[in-house]
Amino acid sequence: MIKKIIAFVGIAALGFLLWNSRSTEPGSTALAPNVASAAVIHSDCEAKPQPKEKTGCYKAAFEVYMKQNGGKKTLILLDDLQNLGGYAKSNCHPLSHIVGNIALHVYGSVPKASPEYLPVCHSGYYHGLLEEYLATAPSYEEGVAKVCGSPKENYFNWFQCTHGLGHGIMQFRDDEVPQSVKDCDILDPEYAAREICYTGAFMENITTEEKTGHKSKYTKPENPLYPCDIVERQYKSSCYFLSSSMILKLNGWNFEQGFKWCDKAEADFRHLCYQSMGRDVAGSTLRNDQESKRLCLYGGSEDARNNCYFGAVRDYINEKGEFDSAIRFCKFIDADYQQYCYNGIFVDLALLQKGETFLATCAKIPEPFRADCRSRVVY
């Protein structure tokens, strides 16, 4: 059906340009005079008594809004809604999946819907678009293998696509984790494509209840490390890299207790649980430097705290594929932990930038880490 998502090329850059200039956009009410304003939609949907009803309310509003105003403006509406707080804020990423689901039907194909992308709520639009695509593609195997194109075209877009593919596979396989991760093995292993797909599948296992109202088949409140402790070894790294999200979901977002569960993870993968905790630290605080620093200090060992900062700073970067806020965060934390923090930056810098652009980012980093950064330049 689709050999490459050619529309993905350059979409991220366009999305960032539009997003960063959003102050020039009119508000959501002015964009759609015939549709209720964000405040009215928010008031109506937040008043629903059950999470599933709230989700259904927002979905209905997005369907009407997108048909009248398009995908970009629907994502701007979602950002307005999350800024009003409540369920829309805490579930912004699952709601952005729903916007992507709707977009495939409004635009008719992945290439036609892709230009509507904006980096709202950690690029959940891409994820939802791919979920829906896999449910409708005439050839499942070809859809899995070819839909995301090549990482050489645009790594950030390809990464988001491949991660979203894991979500889509889980929906196709009725949330069966063991089968879904095996389906990710259809992908070419270049650039860790399979591992990125695995993380999408494991994330779907964590978020499916909020999206569908059905509990995950692979969750145990008495053992929040499950299913990471039972999947085949080749899938464990990706599972543990998301393990804190299941831990925190089950313990009411108690980070201090969450670190203690990571302490119990399999030794070879324990550092990934700590890094996962760091990602959730940054995400839950909306990348607030003071709060992210404070929560990482709940780690009970130097290894736990170092890996928490490593994971946290990568979440700073993943928000929009940019580095300024990440560098600010590494400067802010205690000196004892800065090396691991900058190491997290170096990992993503090598993936997202090259040559002079890479070196320009290094120039913003203080010594002695600047010299280390320059020694890693990719051309």
DSSP annotation string for 68-99 = HH-HHHHHHHHHHHHHT-THHHHTHHHHHHHH
Comparing 180-189, 208-217, 296-305, the range with the smallest average pLDDT is: 208-217
> In which element (H, E) is residue 114 found?
none
Work out the pLDDT band at 111, boundaries 50, 70, 90.
Answer: low
Q: Which residues contact 16 (CB under 8 A, 6 or more apart)?
A: 119, 320, 321, 322
Q: What is the pLDDT of residues 69-86, one digit of tens each?
A: 999 999 999 999 999 999
Q: What is the pLDDT of residues 221-263, one digit of tens each?
A: 999 999 999 999 999 999 999 999 999 999 999 999 999 999 9
Cα-flanking dihedrals φ and ψ of residue 51, to 5°?
Answer: -55, -40
Environment class of 222 (CB within 10 Å of its CB; exposed 0-12, middle 13-18, buried 19+): exposed
* For residues 155-160, average pLDDT: 80
Work out the pLDDT band at 34, boundaries 50, 70, 90.
Answer: very low
Residue 60: per-residue pLDDT: 96
Q: What is the pTM of this model?
A: 0.69
Q: What sign results for the dihedral spanned by CA atoms 204, 89, 12, 64?
A: positive
State the amino acid at position 302 in one-letter form.
Answer: E
CB burial of 289-327 (b: ≥16 within 10 Å; e: otherwise) equals beebbebbbbbeeeebbbbbbbbbbbbbbbbbbbbeebb
Separate counts of helices (H) and strands (E) for the chain: 23, 0
Residue 317 token pair: 């970067």
Comparing 132-141, 233-242, 316-325, the range with the smallest average pLDDT is: 132-141
Environment class of 346 (CB within 10 Å of its CB; exposed 0-12, middle 13-18, buried 19+): middle
Work out the pLDDT band at 9, boundaries 50, 70, 90.
Answer: very low
Q: What is the pLDDT of residues 35-72, one digit of tens each?
A: 458 999 999 999 999 999 999 999 999 999 999 999 99
Q: What is the pLDDT of residues 345-356, one digit of tens each?
A: 999 999 899 999
- The domain spans of the chain are 1-215, 219-379
Mean per-residue pLDDT over the chain, rounded: 87
Q: Are the C-beta atoms of residues 69 and 35 closer than 8 Å to each other?
A: yes
